[in-house]
Amino acid sequence: MAFDESSAVASARVDRIFGSAQYFRLWIAQIFSSGGDWLALFAILITANRVGGGTPEASVAYVMIARFLPGLIFGSAAGVLVDRWDRKRTMVVCDLGRAATLLWLPFVDFVWQLVLASLILEGFALLWAPAKEASVPNLVPREKLTAVNSLSLVAAYGTFPIAAGIFIGLADLANVIDDIGAVDFLRIDTESIAFYLDAASFAAAAAIISRLALPRGPQSTGAQPDDSTRLWAPEQVFQDLREGWSFIFANPTVRTVNVALAVGLIGGGMIIPLGPVFAEDVLDVDGGDGFLTFMVALGIGVALGIAGLAAKQSQLHKERVFVAAVFGAGICLFVATSMWTLLGSALLVGGLGVCAGTVYVLGITLLQENATEELRARVFAGLFTLVRSSVMLALLLGPALALFLNGLSDKFFDKDVNILGFDVIIPGVRLTLWLAALIMVAAGFLTLVSRRGAKS
């Protein structure tokens, strides 16, 4: 009797926090997958540096391109396929496929093999992500979506420091195992152990997901007799793709979320390549230390933002808070990059994190609530394509723009202006980050216009 009562209490607690026991299992699977992803990324980058020979930088660049390029080209098409396939089976096959690919990586000796493996891993990820996001509304009540999406963000990025700590500890483990001659064929080193652990994590995630009570997918209801033929017909694939993007632009809430995230990330993403430069040129601190401080502040801010959402989810008007958070992110970035001390900038970057976490969680929630079952995977695939494109544009545009504006500032202002009696240094990196902040504020105005246009 006591055991039954304890079990009932634990089950009620799981339902209260995670919405359902089924989602709790999916969340555990995401912990395994995300932690494995970070662990594999560290190992892949180090392996790229090792097999790159005389040009390790180029090898790392090739690998990173292999991680970004498939999403830009095939991301939307992945949503079409996921909307036609059994979502649970798709996630299981993708996790098993990633596990098999990772088992091959310890035996890679050439850059092209590493690039090929990265392309395969990214292909599976492109299918897994929209399948997972499209499945969440089938596992939890609508009123719990904000809370569980906050937990999903924790699973996706909160595993980063854990994976980093594990990777650091693998060096000692590799030294111990390397003394065992019977396992020489496994090519034991720090990176190979990371790959083996990652493969095991994906296999565990596949086992958990395979036991979820998920519907087969939208194709199981109302499927037409020739559905299997339509799946591979090019004209039907393009029609499905067009249908998904038409819904994204036609539905006012879905359009608002996509515009805000896509435009906002172009501005916000610039802090990644420019953070170290800003710390050195403006705040006069070590670039590495300054950037690390910013990332810690950003992470703490995101954590506070998602904690606040989880606590206040029932009292929120999601669309209004979403728009306010978009504006808040731009304002925080502008003020942060107007500061003259590391502490002041870091505090405002923390505020940026609060707003960014809020925007992401509420954006995902609004899409889950407003996208139809038949189109949900395509909507998320479209979002992920826009996000990847925006981040790539920010990473490429930020440094180039900073260099250009630095030349203009040096030529016309000698990188220094007097504002209300205060000397303000304006190197290119500060001007670029100010512009990035204005882009984020512009994203807020675009969301307002989109919402008002829908109401008129």
CATH superfamily of 19-142+158-219: MFS general substrate transporter like domains (1.20.1250.20)
Q: What is residue 3's predicted lDDT score, i.e. its pLDDT?
A: 47
**pLDDT tens per residue, range 122-146:** 889 889 989 988 888 888 888 888 8
The domain locations on the chain are 19-142+158-219, 241-455
* Band (395; pLDDT cuts 50, 70, 90): confident
Is pLDDT above 80 for 93? yes
**Mean of pLDDT values over 95-110:** 89
**Mean of pLDDT values over 278-296:** 82
**pLDDT tens per residue, range 426-452:** 788 888 899 989 988 988 888 887 766
Is pLDDT above 70 for 226? no
**Mean of pLDDT values over 406-422:** 71
**Mean of pLDDT values over 268-296:** 82
Tell me if the domain spanning 241-455 has CATH number 1.20.1250.20: yes
**pLDDT tens per residue, range 152-168:** 878 887 777 777 777 77
Answer whether 19-142+158-219 and 241-455 agree in fold: yes
Looking at every residue in the chain, the average pLDDT score rounds to: 80
Is pLDDT above 80 for 254? yes
* Band (208; pLDDT cuts 50, 70, 90): very high
Are the CB atoms for 135 and 29 separated by under 8 Å? no
pTM for the structure as a whole: 0.77
One-letter amino acid at 85 equals W
Is pLDDT above 70 for 418? no
- Considering only residues 149 and 100, tell me which one the structure prediction assigns the higher pLDDT: 100
